[in-house]
Chain A
Amino acid sequence: MNAALIIIFATIILSAFLGIYAGRRVKMNLENWTVGGRKFGIIIIWLLMAGEIYTTFTFLGASGWAYSKGAPTFYILIYGALAYTVSFFVLPALWKVGKRYGLHTQPDFFIKRYDSRYLGVFVALIGVVCIIPYLQLQLKGLGLIVQVASNGAVHPQIAIGISFVLTCAFVYTSGIKGTAWVAVVKDILMILAVFIVGIGVPYIYFGGFGKMFKTLIEQKPDYLVFPGAVPEMDVLWIMSTLLVMGFGFYMWPHVFGSAFSARSARIIKRNAVIMPFYQIPILLIFMVGFTALLVIPGLEDGDMAFLALVNKTYPSWFMGFVGAAGAVTAMVPSAILVLFASTLLAKNVCQTGFRPRMSEEKVMTLSRFMVLVIMTFALIFAIFLPNELVPLLIFGYNGVSQFFPGVVLGLFWKRVARTGVFCGLIAGVTVVLILILSKNDPFLGMNAGFVGLAVNSVITVLVSLKTKPSNGGIK
């Protein structure tokens, strides 16, 4: 066994134990399991939200896009700043409603605000369909990272299998609190790895990032302005994608849910203020991708650029450290995704849709069982059908952003009605699906999700104005 392997496995096993340990002496009911009893302070909320933003996609994808596409990768640096700005205005109002009515999930909000069980079930199902491909992507990324970091000694399926068991264990026992504790480990490792590599490689090969960019401007200037190396990702695509992601980010069921875990609305507001700082290390990830473009051009898979360059530059124990950081970086978002997907299925599909009188304890037991079901499902896809869910992955962000009109209008406009939200949501999702499946994304240079969101908003408003207001649940 080499040093890299020992570092990777010691890290993921210790992290999982930390996660399990976090849940000791907490009586696990649904409130504690999903929203941490609404007791989280600013630091833990920050770590948790950061845990949701920095995924393996950020690690491998941001450098991979810099390497294979160039400037379009800059959207990854930008959209967070927009999303936090939106959250500054929207989330505190949402937190207050959540607190007043004891809401745990996103569909809970729709059910309460629009007084409609069916809308709740519909929202829950769209949420789960969007989450599962993301979960699979995390597992797949984890397998890849551990394989490369161990220099091929560990087969990806074994790495996926081990982390699958560990992640299930700490989510099952400790819920959101366990995840938050593991997120601390993840953030420290991840930030260290990104700073060391991001500052290190431009310096080692070029003597600094300024000289690296100078070489890049001489050799591949196209990579540094839109549309980079991909003509269909021109500036209009970037702008429409940024709007979809800025509005859509907090519409992910798990990100939406984390708003309920805060102790107060003020904590959420202050969190929105400090969140954009978390974006800055992404710049360093770009540096790694651009350096790789100059130093090791011609990789078949751009997403491997980060790992390939580290492998070429650093000793193998350091590769083990990066592998460990990468593996935990996949485990934390996986945990959050599966936690929320299972709660959606148990609470908002089974209980809301079919068994309204199911007791809180039963919902809790069912949620935990669903953790195993969903993880197994994602595991099977990750191992046997690694590419089958790619269209769903593209659908994911565009799909969840369709909740935006229903949430924001629901919070701030009394007139918006159930039928309007239903029609808008169906229209938006249908437009997105048609554009993606007929290969018309981008449509007229715009992101398909943006087109869907525009149609959705117009229909929601028009239909609401023509129908009776349904303000069933909220003051």
Chain B
Amino acid sequence: MDYARFVRLRSALWDGFEARLAAAEKDPRRIAYGDLEDIALSYRQVLHDHALAASRFPGTGAAHRLRGLALQGTHWLRWDRGDRLPGPGAFFARTFPLAFRAHLPHLVAAVTLFATALLFGASLAIVQPGAGTAILGPEAVEGLRQGHLWTESLVSAVPPVVTSSGIATNNMSVALAGWAGGAALGLGSLYVILLNGFLLGAVLATTLHYGLAGALLEFVSAHGPLEITLILVTSAGGLALGQALVAAEDLPRRVVWQRAGRDALVLLVGCLPWFVVLGIVEAVVSPAPTVPRLLKAGLGLGLEASFLVLAWNPRLPGGR
């Protein structure tokens, strides 16, 4: 068959396919079953015409047009259903707990690294008190000397609605950085874990030096445990990404990495909503002098327990 004959014989089919596809893309709900079958049949014919044109008439307008139509049809007809996220109910009842369990070794590693960095930060601030000034700033340290925590300004400067928004978005940014940093060989996640541990240790030791550690622990008791847990869980997802990239497995690295990415995404999506709750707690409850110390601690423990129970979901059978 010569080129001109090929075009004359088949162009009506291509035009029809293009028109049907355009209509389907515009409003997929109006497509009847019969139309869908027509599109699928035409797609197959276009694909075969594309193969013929690509081998017999390469570089021609028909070959270009058919490649475009074949790609457009493939994109519309073939959806990657394998990585669909389930609805909220199924996600928090099954998908998230399964991912959480699967990432336990990474979470243990993250907790160990965090604790090590915390001890290091605390030791450094005890041995070298100047480190606390460098981290907190001279104004905050001056406030500590006078017996005031810098956290008191959280309620005096701006109202809780602004503080909670700022805190929630900042914490989510940190969690996202810890997760995404895993894609860089896990280095970003390591940085977030170690930095947070180091800073917390140094700040605790500095407040201990000025006799205000109890006040700081009271301030963080409502939101701190869960906040640290969430950052460690999302960073554990990042560590899993890094491990999939670095450590060899039987499967190709590309496959392992993409699978790790999908699993780690579940951790991230499952943790993000909790930051909104934490933002409100940190802005409203934590700095409030009227809320009793025990109530703050109880709230902190309650939030932590709620998250862990939801994340583990004891009603789910063991294993993955």
Partners in one complex: no
Residues of chain A whose beta carbon lies under 8 Å from any beta carbon of chain B: none
Residues of chain B whose beta carbon lies under 8 Å from any beta carbon of chain A: none
